[in-house]
């Protein structure tokens, strides 16, 4: 991960720089704890008698493939697909880059090839699935009767709806020819080992990238209920497919999935623990809100601001200096004023700043651990006590920017974006609020 270099550091007070250095160190520790090059080798299966075929999808897929190549003894072959700009050089496992979060033809073709590679294996063979967040969009192979254009449109609608990642992946599974355990079913009777970098609440292995290598406990009725809940308009083709029993995913009792194994090699809780150690070594008390925080980004920001106020005022047992840590995945529901630039972490940070309203000695960072917040080039953003003051001095209305979902524009104007480039891992959101004494 590239080190963050603020564009206007010379204009900030020394205390601001010290706070940002600590916040940046916590974020870097969180990302390092999920680095495939460090963790993957500890979870590898034994080599099989027959072939070892490696497939994978997600923002960390290329880094996982490279780490596997460096640790594996024996022949390897395979293909993984990752997001554009997230590739890494490999020698035996081919890496394809494709679009995220809305799939494109490159992802479609890669998914088709991956499914073909998994098919026809024997009981002497091993299929290793390298799975990380982002894989749902990257493995875009529609089910029977569903067109690729349908898949793209459903993805767009889900992203704008405010649905949680668990809900989105339930729908995606039932519209796919490869996710929701269908890849593992194609590989039977081979042993199928999924090595997972989790980006989902509760680390449910079957939900990471919609679980291509694992059985699915959700149903097509669940998918239809989610579509109804968020009032998502779908084509008659898609609805007809979801009503068809053939759209049902393989379940845990399916005999074809009895040779499936899941190993979580990195998870949000591990990254939060690494950040906690950095904060405690610096002399800060830590409140860990956990890695399952969900909800509207702006509402979570408002709630966390209130908690920071309680600590700063001494109204709770936690005393400053303190750090509030949290992970999970918030959502952004685009309304009539939508269309601005900004992901969920930047939107959280702007809402947090607005509700802190210049509260002294409080700084924060909110970033996506994959290095890309939404579809922009930043991982997230910093806030400081003078964020709103500096913005207004530039003629920027913070509330209007939040209402227009343009948190990227807000923090870009201040020079407060966190830009790391792709980190080649993904354990979802990382948030830290620093309350100084």
Residue 15 pLDDT: 59
Contacts of 315 (CB under 8 A, 6+ apart): none
Q: Residues 139-162: what's their mean pLDDT?
A: 92
Q: Which tens digits make up the pLDDT trace of 354-373?
A: 999 999 999 999 999 999 99
Q: Which tens digits make up the pLDDT trace of 254-293?
A: 999 999 999 999 999 999 999 999 999 999 999 999 999 9
My answer on whether omega of the bond before 363 falls inside 30° of 0, hence cis, is no
Sign of CA dihedral 276, 410, 427, 39: negative
Asked whether residue 336 carries a pLDDT value surpassing 80, the answer given is: no
Q: How confident is the model at residue 11 (pLDDT cuts 50, 70, 90)?
A: very low
Q: How confident is the model at residue 159 (pLDDT cuts 50, 70, 90)?
A: confident
Q: Residues 50-68: what's their mean pLDDT?
A: 98
Cα(388)–Cα(346) distance, integer angstroms: 14
Q: Enumerate the β-bridge partners of residue 136.
A: none
Lowest-pLDDT range of 121-135, 324-338, 421-435: 324-338
Asked whether residue 93 carries a pLDDT value surpassing 70, the answer given is: yes
- DSSP for 7-73, please give it: TTGGGS-HHHHHHHHHHHHHHHHHHHTT-HHHHGGGGPPPP-SS-EEEEEESTTHHHHHHHHHHH--
Residue 352 pLDDT: 98
Which three-class secondary structure state does DSSP give residue 176?
strand
CB–CB of 391/410 below 8 Å? yes
- DSSP for 91-128, please give it: SSEEEEEE-SSS--HHHHHHHHHHHHHHTT--TT-EEE
Q: Which tens digits make up the pLDDT trace of 177-230?
A: 999 999 999 999 999 999 999 998 889 999 999 999 999 999 999 999 999 999
Q: Domains of the chain (ranges plus CATH)? A: 9-33+269-435 (3.40.1480.10), 36-266 (3.40.50.10180)
Asked whether residue 5 carries a pLDDT value surpassing 80, the answer given is: no
Cα(188)–Cα(125) distance, integer angstroms: 10
**pTM value surpassing 0.85:** yes
CB–CB of 137/209 below 8 Å? no
Residue 337 pLDDT: 54
Asked whether residue 312 carries a pLDDT value surpassing 90, the answer given is: yes
Cα(265)–Cα(394) distance, integer angstroms: 45
């Amino acid at each position: 991960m590239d080190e963050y270099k603020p564009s206007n550091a010379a204009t900030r007070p020394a205390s601001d720089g010290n706070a940002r250095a600590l916040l940046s160190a916590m974020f870097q520790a969180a990302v390092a704890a999920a680095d495939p090059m460090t963790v993957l080798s500890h979870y590898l299966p034994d080599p099989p008698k027959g072939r070892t075929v490696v497939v994978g999808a997600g923002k960390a897929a290329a880094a996982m493939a490279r780490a596997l190549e460096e640790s594996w003894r024996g022949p390897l072959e395979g293909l993984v697909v990752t997001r554009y700009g997230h590739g890494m050089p490999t020698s035996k496992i081919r890496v394809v880059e494709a679009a995220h979060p809305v799939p494109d033809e490159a992802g479609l073709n890669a998914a088709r090839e991956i499914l073909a590679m998994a098919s026809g294996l024997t009981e002497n063979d091993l299929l290793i699935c390298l799975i990380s967040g982002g894989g749902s969009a990257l493995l875009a192979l529609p089910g029977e009767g569903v067109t690729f254009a349908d898949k793209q449109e459903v993805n767009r609608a889900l992203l704008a709806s405010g649905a949680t990642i668990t809900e989105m992946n339930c729908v995606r599974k039932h519209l796919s020819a490869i996710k929701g355990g269908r890849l593992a079913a194609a590989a039977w009777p081979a042993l199928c080992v999924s090595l997972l970098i989790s980006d989902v609440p509760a680390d449910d292995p079957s939900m990471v990238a919609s679980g291509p290598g694992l059985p699915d406990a959700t149903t097509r009725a669940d998918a239809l209920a989610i579509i109804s809940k968020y009032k998502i308009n779908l084509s008659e083709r898609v609805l007809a497919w979801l009503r068809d029993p053939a759209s049902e995913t393989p379940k845990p009792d399916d005999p074809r999935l009895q040779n499936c194994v899941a190993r979580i090699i990195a998870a949000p809780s591990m990254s939060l623990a690494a950040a906690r150690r950095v904060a405690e070594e610096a002399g800060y008390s830590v409140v860990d809100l956990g890695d399952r925080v969900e909800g509207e980004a702006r509402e979570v920001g408002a709630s966390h601001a209130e908690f920071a106020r309680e600590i700063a005022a001494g109204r709770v047992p936690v005393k400053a200096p303190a750090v509030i840590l949290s992970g999970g995945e918030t959502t952004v529901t685009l309304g009539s004023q939508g269309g601005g630039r900004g992901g969920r972490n930047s939107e959280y940070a702007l809402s947090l700043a607005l509700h802190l309203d210049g509260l002294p000695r409080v700084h924060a960072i909110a970033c996506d651990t994959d290095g890309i917040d939404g579809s922009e080039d930043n991982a997230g953003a910093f806030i400081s006590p003078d964020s709103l003051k500096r913005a207004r001095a530039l003629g920027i209305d913070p509330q209007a920017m939040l209402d227009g979902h343009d948190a990227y524009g807000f923090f870009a104007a201040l020079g407060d974006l966190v830009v790391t480039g792709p980190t080649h891992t993904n354990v979802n959101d990382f948030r830290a609020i620093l309350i100084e004494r």
